[in-house]
Amino acid sequence: MDLTTTVSVDQENSVARVGLKGALNTDTAPEFEERLQKIVAEGHQLTVLDMKELDYISSAGLRVIFKAAKQTKSAGRRLAAANRKPHIDKVFEILKALPDMAVFANDEELDEYLDSMQSKVKGD
């Protein structure tokens, strides 16, 4: 199984949205890591990994996300996951991975969050 990633950036709110489709496993992790590193390096305040169409993740894939989370956190920015399927969720659960990572169950929750963040910015 392959992995397809789509990236859309909301420059105004400094949010990068990375859509994952397929499997994030040993074979696909290296390429994804390269891609994600670039996005993280762009310095968006928030990077959202949209896993709506991600069917499979292995420890190799988690390692890439783990690395990105660590980098964004140390830079004072955030990495979030959205739309995790139950079995993907289970893997995250097992590994007690990213306990303080923002997780959005679906697009609505994400939109809400983005709106609130936007208004916060505007309010500031």
Partner 1 sequence: MRNSFTFRLILLLSMSSALIIAAAMTIDYRLARDEILDRLREESLVTVRNSISDLENMLDGVESSAHFMANFLGRQDLTEEQLENLLRDIVETNVDVFGAAIALNPELTSDEAGFAPYYHKAGGLIQRKNLADGPENYWSQHWYTQPIAAGKPVWVEPYFDELGAEVLMTTYSIPVYREDTNGAPELFGVVTADVTLEELKAYISRLRLGDNGYAFLVSGEGAILASKADSSAMRNYRDLIYTSPEASSWERAISGSDQLEDKPQLVQCPHIDDKCAIRTSRLRTTDWPFGVVYSEDELLAPLREFTAKSTILSTIILIIMVLSGTLIVRRLTSPLTKLAIAVDAIGGGELRAPLPRAKGHDEVARLIRSFASMQTDLRSYISSLEEVTAARSRLEGELTAAREIQMAMLPQGGEAIEKAEAFNLWAKVRPAKTVGGDLYSYYRDEQRLYLIVGDVSDKGVPAALFMARAMSLLQQQRANLIQPEAGMSLLNDALEQDNENCMFVTLFLGVLDLQSYALTFASAGHTPPSLLRNGVANTIEQDAGPALALASGLQFSANTLQLQAGDRLAIYTDGIDEAFNIDAEMFGMERFNQRLAAGVDEAVEDAGIGIIDSVDSFAAGTAQSDDITLMLLDIPEAKAAVSSSTDQLSRSFKLDAQLNASSGEWLEHALEQTGVAPDIIMEMTLVLEELVTNVRKYAGLPEDAELTVQVATTGNSLILTIVDGGVAFNPLEDAHRSPLGADIESAEIGGLGVHLVTQLTDEQVYRREGDQNLLRVVKLLQHD
Q: Which residues bind partner 1 (CB under 8 A)?
A: 1, 25-27, 55-60, 62-63, 66-67, 69-70, 73-74, 86-87, 90-91, 94-101
Closest CB to partner 1 among residues 96, 120: 96
CB 59 within 8 A of CB 92: no
CB 75 within 8 A of CB 45: no
Closest CB to partner 1 among residues 9, 97: 97
CB of 64 to partner 1, least distance (A): 9
* Rounded distance between C-alpha atoms, residue 13 and residue 96, angstroms: 30
Closest CB to partner 1 among residues 11, 74: 74
Nearest to 37 by CA among 60, 1, 66: 66
CB of 74 to partner 1, least distance (A): 7
Residue partners of 13: CB distance under 8 A and separation at least 6: 45, 46, 114, 117, 118, 121
Closest CB to partner 1 among residues 13, 71: 71
CB of 84 to partner 1, least distance (A): 14
